[in-house]
Amino acid sequence: VGAKGLCVKPGGAAFAFSGSQFVPQSEDKLIFTPNDPRSLMKLNVDFRSIKGHKFNKVDGSKPTPPLLNLSKDSDKGGGYIFEFDNVGNRDLCRDFVARVLGKHQGTVPARTNVPSEKSAVSTGPEQLSSAEMERRMKLLREDSELQKLHKKFVLGNILQESEFWATRKNLLDDETNKASKQKPGFKSAMLADVRPSADGQTNKVTFSLTTEIIHQIFAEKPAVHRAFLDYVPKKLSEKDFWTKYCRAEYLLRTKNTLAAKAEAADDEELAMFLKNDDILAKEAKLKIKRVDPTLDMEADAGDDYIHLPDHGILRDGSRETADIDSELARRTLSQDLNRHAAVVLEGRSTDIESTDTKTVAEALARSKKEPPPSSAADDASHERLVKVARMTEIEDLQAPRSLPYAPLCIKDPREYFDSQQANALRPLGSNDGRKARSCSLSTDDAFRHLMDQISSVKMNCPVVQSDVALKVLNELNEGISRSRRLNLKNPQDSLLGRLPHRTRDELMDHWTAIQELLRHFWSSYPITTAVLSNKVQRLKEAMTQIYQKLQDIKESAQPDVRHEISQLVKPMTQALDAAFYHDQQQKSSKAGTGSKPNGF
């Protein structure tokens, strides 16, 4: 695979190879040889020394080339950065590297006989679709940290596969997947129709039709659709079909009736385009039958196919004769608009994937529903009528429709404080803390009593010696200013400066594992089912193990770094302690002994 490589050695020197071969030699080694036979540089890398891999996302806008970064042990630093010619090659190499790394670190991500079947208690094998499986494997391949976690927990039988992925739903949920479920609508710009571009010099006009436009034509003009299915490719070629269609449209638009009649007489197919759409006419007739006869049937130019007999009453009687004579269609913009709106409201059923018009036409034909039997049609039409009636209200004449607001209702805060008082008094032994304690002291008595108690405290000498107090204050001040100075200088290094990187990374790995465990732990409370209690059991065992490991690390540390290690380990043990404590509390409260302050 052709690649360019940059090898970054610890000292910071970079060696560049160009036009070289990136050859995964075997599962263990990687050999990188330059194409130039004169160069002596060769790179022989053992995969065991590679600890992680990273890659950059490539998109067309930025000119960065696809890179693959293999990082070695971070203690010594260094690693290799390979620059590839194209993304496909880089992805191949990346997948290979991921697989090898996984093998070396113990996972086999390529084959996923779902480990949930191996675990001790399974809620039944998970039914995963292959797409889901693909996505998970892809995520594991891309992120080596995730892979490590996966191997540790899922294959170590601590967590089940489903639980592991449950918290990572947002990674799995492909955003493009969601967005691609949306379909763009039909543009009404089509109503202006496909405008021809006229070349000023010759007499030709050019129409350009895309698949989208063709789809729209088929949806809005069912007669054309039927003609396409009938004639192509038997009688006409596709190009001829569209040429005739465009010619018909051109003639219609120029309203050149004489030329249209002449051409219609010659050419049978052209005549068909120039006629009225009879499928639509049939549908309009059906529609009329279902209309509520109490509606005003006075039709106007906005309705389609007004020339049909017994379809509405024309206001202007004089046009009747002329229309029935000619066979050619006279379509107005409002008729087209209504037809377009009807098509849009029906919804877009098919997706355009292919560019072949024949398949598009067939797909559309398949998706067209047969007119339903009359009873079902009645229900559907009744629903539609209700909707139409609601939408045709004249909004200016309606009262403003604003939804009522929720009134503010705040309970008396004394209720809360009283119940808290009851809670506080209960452990003091009174049977029913709710009984108000009757106090019979007056203000004077209480004040005198308090004064007596205060004066009985011997205040001969001050509580704290003044010079001791000064010393303590000074030391505290110094400590705070020292740590603040260190923070400002260089946070990362100075905090744990002397800690070697390897130990720090090891501890951070432990921390990632702890975080994952804790997340699952806290999400399982309150424990309601046996599955959850089982899970908590497993998690607790794992947590105890890690706790032990941390203690061991702390004890076995060298004296000069011990303080820093213990500092780093402290927050981890604190978090684990909190979890254990919570678990204990839950158990004891379930046993019924302790009281729960504040309802926790």
Partner 1 sequence: MDYRPSRMAVVAKCAEAFIREFFDQNPLSHVGLVTIKDGISHRLTEIGGSPESQINALMGKLECSGDSSLQNALELVNGYLNQIPSYGHKEVLFLYSALNTCDPGDIMETIEKCKKSKVRCSVIGLAAEIFICKHLCEETGGSYTVALDESHFKELLLEHAPPPPAIAEYAAANLIKMGFPQRGAEDLISICSCHKKIKSGAEGYICPRCKVNVCELPTECRTCGLTLVSSPHLARSYHHLFPVAPFDEVTFKLGQKGGQNCFGCQQSLINTGGQSNIHVRCPKCNHHFCFDCDIYIHESLHNCPGCESQRSSSR
- Quote the least distance from Cβ 17 to partner 1, whole Å: 34
497 binds partner 1 (CB under 8 A): no
533 binds partner 1 (CB under 8 A): no
- Quote the least distance from Cβ 173 to partner 1, whole Å: 10
413 binds partner 1 (CB under 8 A): no
Q: How far apart are CA 172 and CA 143, in angstroms?
A: 13
Stretch that binds partner 1, among 226-234, 245-253, 514-522, 538-546 (CB under 8 A): 514-522
Q: Coil, helix or strand for 67?
A: strand
Strand partners, 81: 6, 69
Within residues 145-174, the interface with partner 1 by CB under 8 A covers: 170
Binding residue (CB under 8 A) for partner 1 from 17, 186, 218, 241: 186
Binding residue (CB under 8 A) for partner 1 from 197, 574, 585, 588: 574
Binding residue (CB under 8 A) for partner 1 from 62, 401, 414, 458: 401
In the bound state with partner 1, the residue whose beta carbon lies nearer, of 341 and 469, is 341
Binding residue (CB under 8 A) for partner 1 from 48, 118, 387, 448: 387
Binding residue (CB under 8 A) for partner 1 from 419, 477, 483, 490: 483
Alpha-carbon distances of 34 from 22, 37, 70, 85, 247, rounded to whole Å: 9, 7, 18, 15, 63
Within residues 24-53, the interface with partner 1 by CB under 8 A covers: none
Cβ neighbours for 246, distance < 8 A, ≥ 6 positions apart: 194, 196, 207, 209
In the bound state with partner 1, the residue whose beta carbon lies nearer, of 203 and 492, is 492
Amino acid in the structure at residue 210: T
463 binds partner 1 (CB under 8 A): no
- Quote the least distance from Cβ 189 to partner 1, whole Å: 8
Number of neighbouring beta carbons within 10 Å of residue 540 = 16
178 binds partner 1 (CB under 8 A): yes
- Quote the least distance from Cβ 95 to partner 1, whole Å: 26
Cβ neighbours for 258, distance < 8 A, ≥ 6 positions apart: none
Q: How many residues belong to the site for partner 1 (CB under 8 A)? A: 57
* Residue 44, φ and ψ in degrees, nearest 5: -125, 105
- Quote the least distance from Cβ 98 to partner 1, whole Å: 21
182 binds partner 1 (CB under 8 A): yes
In the bound state with partner 1, the residue whose beta carbon lies nearer, of 104 and 368, is 368
Cβ neighbours for 381, distance < 8 A, ≥ 6 positions apart: 290
| Own/partner pairs, 88-94, CB within 8 angstroms, 24+ separation | 89/1, 89/2, 89/3, 90/3, 90/55, 90/58, 90/66, 92/1, 93/1, 93/3, 93/22, 93/24, 93/68, 94/53, 94/55, 94/68, 94/141
Strand partners, 33: 21
- Quote the least distance from Cβ 190 to partner 1, whole Å: 10
Continuous segment of H or E residues that includes residue 533: helix 530-555
Stretch that binds partner 1, among 264-272, 296-304, 322-330, 341-349 (CB under 8 A): 341-349
420 binds partner 1 (CB under 8 A): no
555 binds partner 1 (CB under 8 A): no
In the bound state with partner 1, the residue whose beta carbon lies nearer, of 25 and 567, is 567
- Quote the least distance from Cβ 24 to partner 1, whole Å: 31
Stretch that binds partner 1, among 132-140, 328-336, 419-427, 475-483 (CB under 8 A): 475-483
479 binds partner 1 (CB under 8 A): yes
Q: Rounded to a whole number, what is the distance in angstroms from the first to the last CA of the chain? A: 61
* β pairing state of 14-24 and 2-8: antiparallel
Closest CA to 524 of 586, 591, 588: 586
- Quote the least distance from Cβ 455 to partner 1, whole Å: 28
Residue with tokens 């947590």: 543
Binding residue (CB under 8 A) for partner 1 from 60, 200, 309, 404: 404
Number of neighbouring beta carbons within 10 Å of residue 171 = 14
Binding residue (CB under 8 A) for partner 1 from 26, 487, 545, 588: 487
568 binds partner 1 (CB under 8 A): yes
Asked whether 534 and 171 are in contact (CB, 8 A), the reply is no
**Strand locations in 114-165, DSSP E?**
none
| DSSP 8-state code for residue 392 | T
Number of neighbouring beta carbons within 10 Å of residue 116 = 19
For residue 508, the number of C-alpha atoms closer than 13 Å in the C-beta half-sphere is 10
Stretch that binds partner 1, among 81-89, 273-281, 322-330, 562-570 (CB under 8 A): 562-570
- Quote the least distance from Cβ 342 to partner 1, whole Å: 11
584 binds partner 1 (CB under 8 A): no
In the bound state with partner 1, the residue whose beta carbon lies nearer, of 254 and 567, is 567
Token code pair at residue 326: 């000619």
Cβ neighbours for 500, distance < 8 A, ≥ 6 positions apart: 75, 561
Binding residue (CB under 8 A) for partner 1 from 76, 522, 545, 585: 522
Closest CA to 280 of 226, 332, 321: 226
Q: How far apart are CA 34 and CA 16, in angstroms?
A: 10
Cβ neighbours for 335, distance < 8 A, ≥ 6 positions apart: 301, 302, 303, 304
- Quote the least distance from Cβ 519 to partner 1, whole Å: 5
343 binds partner 1 (CB under 8 A): no
Binding residue (CB under 8 A) for partner 1 from 492, 528, 556, 595: 492
Q: Compute CA 562 distance to the chain's CA centroid, rounded to the nearest angstrom.
A: 45
- Quote the least distance from Cβ 594 to partner 1, whole Å: 18
- Quote the least distance from Cβ 574 to partner 1, whole Å: 5
403 binds partner 1 (CB under 8 A): yes
* Residue 146, φ and ψ in degrees, nearest 5: -60, -40
For residue 26, the number of C-alpha atoms closer than 13 Å in the C-beta half-sphere is 4
Stretch that binds partner 1, among 234-242, 312-320, 507-515, 543-551 (CB under 8 A): 507-515
Continuous segment of H or E residues that includes residue 286: helix 278-289
In the bound state with partner 1, the residue whose beta carbon lies nearer, of 285 and 368, is 368
Asked whether 57 and 72 are in contact (CB, 8 A), the reply is no
Site residues (CB under 8 A) for partner 1? 170, 175, 178-179, 182-188, 344-348, 387, 391, 401-410, 479-480, 483-484, 487, 491-492, 495-496, 504, 508, 511-512, 515, 518-519, 522-523, 567-568, 570-572, 574-575, 577-579, 582
